[in-house]
Amino acid sequence: MDPSARADGEFRQWMHRLRNELNGVAMATAAAAALLDAGAPPEQVARNLGRAQDACRRCRDLLQDVPEPGP
């Protein structure tokens, strides 16, 4: 595989991982909001907020090592 194709593949994989984590943040915060609206116990809300926090940490980690996009 030539270097430009490898770089493009690495960047695409990185973008895919970042999008997945951002989707996780969106879903976990939406679930937490719905649970709050429904009067759920704080522990249930906290679990979803913890999931969002974990996904945010993974996004931060991904953003610290952004690969160069291919041509």
> Over the stretch 42-56, which tens digit does the pLDDT of each residue have?
999 999 999 999 999
Q: For residue 52, what pLDDT is reported?
A: 98
How confident is the model at residue 1, as a pLDDT?
A: 66
SS3 content of the chain, % helix, strand, coil (to 5): 80, 0, 20
Q: Residue 34: pLDDT above 80?
A: yes
- The H or E element containing residue 8 is helix 3-37
Top-confidence residue, 71 or 61: 61
- The answer to whether the beta carbons of residues 56 and 29 sit under 8 Å apart is no
Per-residue pLDDT, 70: 75
